């Protein structure tokens, strides 16, 4: 188990950290920006989602030999890219479609994070953080869907709130995983004391 975890973290902790920085940065931007044009907001959302999806596709493919949930991760990553592409292609269309797509993404992403946390994570603190993040995403997705405010700006703010939570969770997980990896490496390097054979 330790060898598998070490191999996974060595190749993936940086991806979680990068994804967290992007998501958290977008969250802060969404919460504190003054942009009101839905066209511009849609472009920003699409770029963020497609970048995160592409990063997750890469991470999923790298995890084929080490993670049993890589197929589920690949599916949600492709869905993330698809949602981003849909938002970009429909930036000049009906705002209602964009709202539904973004709301559905938050709900699906939240459920996915809960499933992955319960299936894959070894440490209780990591599992708790990801389940909490997933619940927040699912709840906010339904809030956005039921808000009835189809000017797009409020949904952009709701998505930003979720992305901030998701980004912070990603970064904490990456940092924690890196420290765990360091402990594993020190344990491996530590010489094994030979037991003295009593005569």
The segments of the chain whose pLDDT lies below 50 read 1-10, 199
Q: Pull the structure tokens for residue 56.
A: 């997750």
Report the 10 Å Cβ neighbour count for 180.
Answer: 18
Domains of the chain: 2-186 (1.25.40)
Q: How far apart are CA 59 and CA 39, in angstroms?
A: 30
What is the per-residue pLDDT for 3? 46
Segments in 63-152 forming alpha helices (H)? 70-89, 95-120, 124-146
CB distance 126 to 176 below 8 Å: yes
pLDDT, residue 182, reads: 67
Question: What pLDDT, on the 0 to 100 scale, is given for residue 69?
Answer: 67
Q: What is the pLDDT of residue 150?
A: 61
For 180, half-sphere exposure in the C-beta direction (CA atoms, 13 angstrom radius) is: 22
């Amino acid at each position: 188990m330790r060898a598998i975890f070490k191999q996974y973290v060595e190749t993936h902790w940086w991806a979680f950290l990068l994804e967290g920085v992007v998501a958290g940065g977008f969250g802060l931007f969404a919460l504190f920006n003054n942009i009101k044009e839905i066209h511009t907001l849609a472009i920003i959302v699409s770029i963020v989602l497609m970048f995160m999806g592409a990063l997750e596709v890469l991470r999923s493919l790298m995890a084929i030999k080490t993670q049993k949930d890589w197929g589920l991760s690949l599916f949600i990553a492709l869905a993330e890219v698809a949602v981003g592409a849909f938002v970009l292609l429909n930036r000049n269309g009906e705002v209602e479609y964009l709202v539904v797509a973004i709301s559905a993404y938050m709900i699906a992403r939240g459920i996915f994070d809960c499933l992955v946390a319960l299936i894959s994570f070894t440490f209780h603190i990591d599992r708790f953080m990801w389940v909490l993040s997933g619940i927040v995403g699912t709840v906010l997705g339904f809030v956005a869907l039921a808000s009835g405010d189809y000017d797009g700006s409020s949904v952009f703010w709701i998505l930003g709130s979720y992305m901030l939570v998701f980004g912070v969770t990603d970064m904490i997980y990456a940092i924690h995983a890196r420290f765990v990896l360091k402990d594993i490496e020190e344990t491996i390097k530590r010489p094994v004391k030979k037991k003295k054979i009593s005569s």
